[in-house]
């Protein structure tokens, strides 16, 4: 009955007093529905541009944020067609300071809720979507993807234009994310990003443009699907990304406790003392962006070898927007990230260190799919390792 009252208010006014909702720390979900036979989709809202507004004009997409943006129920009212696709509930997660100020606490919180809501044996929830600021969406989404423990769809989305813009992209992204989360075709693919009529894998996606709506891409791996008339069409059958691991964080109670991992930027004249300074400041692992195919200077290699002997791993990531560094036939101190980007490598290394992986296990985590593909075939073994 309460959900029907909420629905009536949402559709009638588009602006209502705060409804009963599941705030972080509570377990019950209150469903907004006009058809109880539709799939259930839970929204994890961390804010972002999709819920932002401008005080300046309908053309402002650069200085927004000070206006009063829509609440989740108001967004539903503005895109009321979503209630023809799914029943909706939402959980709010505060993200003060915007997505650039977020740390691993957020994705650990979201993933623990998602595992409980969607992955319990008696769960009747079809899927979940997450609203997130686009500046660090790929990091939070990647953390959830590696710790979410069932085959149901988990969809990340947001917006590049505030809701007050003359043509806000968030409304379309919202509808399409709900449609993807409600679709059985979205299962067994790992986490997905839905943005600008396209579907990509969280595992491979990155933000490629700081300003335009057409920003989240998996440049090398491509789109998994597209939207037609608001509905998802997948180009391929269900499959998980190669080498995608899973980490169990159900027993992590201190959400601020993940080991620190620092990213450093390799360039001409790189000062390897920065690597030592990061470790002295508490880093338990490093990620270094290397030019070309994750190349590193002699001083960086020497520092990585020294730190490796102290139990500190260094993950080498290719600095170009796509491509990968390839590990040497005989493993050295540097560990290569394969097609995992720097931001994602940082998250994955944090989770591996938290799970007490040793250095060999960390190397296997990052390198084994690529190493097996390159050095595993008999023909390659002959010329890389001799007869």
- Torsion angle of alpha carbons 28, 31, 35, 38, nearest 10°? -60
- Torsion angle of alpha carbons 312, 256, 72, 61, nearest 10°? -50
- Equal fold, 2-234 vs 261-372: yes
Cβ–Cβ < 8 Å for 232, 196: no
Mean per-residue pLDDT for 292-317?
Answer: 97
CA 301, distance to chain mean position in Å, is 30
What CA–CA distance (Å, rounded) separates 192 from 198? 10
Q: Burial, 46: exposed, middle or buried (Cβ in 10 Å; 0-12, 13-18, 19+)?
A: buried
Among 27-31, 175-179, 350-354, which is the least confidently predicted range?
Answer: 27-31
- Reduced to 3 states (helix: H, G, I; strand: E, B; else coil), residue 163 is coil
Among 69-73, 281-285, 375-379, which is the least confidently predicted range?
Answer: 375-379
What CA–CA distance (Å, rounded) separates 156 from 168? 17
| pLDDT band at 27; cut points 50, 70, 90 | low
Q: What is the predicted pLDDT for the residue at 387?
A: 61
Q: What is the pLDDT of residues 237-282, one digit of tens each?
A: 999 999 999 999 998 988 888 999 999 999 999 999 999 999 999 9
Higher pLDDT residue, 167 or 382? 167
Spatial CA neighbour of 60 closest among 168, 132, 133: 168
- Domain borders along the chain are 2-234, 261-372
Mean per-residue pLDDT for 23-47?
Answer: 85
What is the number of alpha carbons within 13 Å of residue 342 lying toward its C-beta? Answer: 21
What CA–CA distance (Å, rounded) separates 278 from 298? 19
Residues annotated as catalytic (active site), given as ranges: 49
* 2-234 carries CATH number 3.40.50.1000: no
pLDDT at 58 over 80: yes
Mean per-residue pLDDT for 56-67?
Answer: 94
Q: What is the pLDDT of residues 126-150, one digit of tens each?
A: 999 999 999 999 999 999 999 999 9
Q: What is the predicted pLDDT for the residue at 6?
A: 52
Q: What is the pLDDT of residues 287-302, one digit of tens each?
A: 999 999 999 999 999 9
pLDDT at 96 over 80: no
Q: What is the predicted pLDDT for the residue at 2?
A: 41
pTM: 0.92
CATH-assigned architecture of domain 261-372: 3-Layer(aba) Sandwich (3.40)
């Amino acid at each position: 009955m309460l959900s029907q009252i909420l629905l009536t208010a949402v559709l009638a006014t588009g602006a209502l007093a705060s409804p009963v909702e599941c705030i972080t720390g509570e377990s019950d979900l209150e469903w907004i529905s006009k058809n109880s036979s539709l799939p259930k989709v839970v929204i994890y809202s961390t804010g972002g541009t999709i819920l932002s507004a401008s005080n300046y004009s309908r053309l402002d997409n650069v200085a927004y944020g000070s206006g009063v943006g829509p609440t989740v129920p108001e967004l539903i009212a503005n895109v009321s067609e979503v209630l023809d696709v799914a029943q909706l509930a939402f959980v709010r997660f505060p993200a003060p300071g915007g997505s650039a100020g977020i740390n691993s606490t957020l994705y650990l919180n979201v993933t623990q809720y998602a595992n409980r809501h969607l992955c319990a044996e008696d769960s009747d929830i079809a899927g979940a979507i997450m609203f997130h600021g686009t500046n660090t969406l790929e990091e939070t989404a990647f953390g959830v993807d590696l710790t979410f423990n069932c085959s149901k769809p988990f969809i990340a989305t947001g917006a590049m234009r505030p809701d007050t813009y003359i043509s806000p992209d968030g409304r379309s992204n919202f509808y399409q994310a709900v449609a993807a989360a409600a679709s059985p075709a979205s299962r067994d693919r790992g986490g997905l990003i839905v943005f600008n009529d396209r579907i990509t894998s969280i595992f491979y996606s990155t933000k490629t443009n700081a300003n335009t709506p057409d920003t989240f891409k998996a440049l090398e791996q491509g789109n998994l699907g597209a939207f037609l008339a608001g509905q998802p069409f997948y180009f391929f059958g269900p499959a998980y990304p190669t080498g995608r691991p899973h980490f169990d964080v159900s027993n992590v109670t201190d959400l601020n406790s993940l080991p620190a991992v620092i990213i450093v930027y390799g360039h001409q004249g790189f000062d390897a003392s920065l690597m030592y300074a990061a470790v002295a400041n508490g880093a338990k692992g490093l990620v270094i962006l290397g030019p070309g195919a994750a190349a590193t200077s002699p001083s960086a290699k020497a520092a990585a070898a020294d730190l490796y002997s102290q139990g500190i791993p260094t993950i080498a990531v290719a600095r170009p927007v796509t491509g990968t560094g390839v590990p040497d036939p005989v493993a050295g101190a540097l560990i290569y990230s394969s097609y995992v980007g720097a931001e994602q490598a940082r998250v994955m290394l944090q989770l591996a260190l938290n799970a007490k992986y040793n250095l060999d296990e960390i190397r296997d985590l990052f390198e084994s799919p690529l190493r097996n593909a390159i050095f595993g075939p008999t023909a390659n073994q002959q010329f890389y390792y001799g007869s």
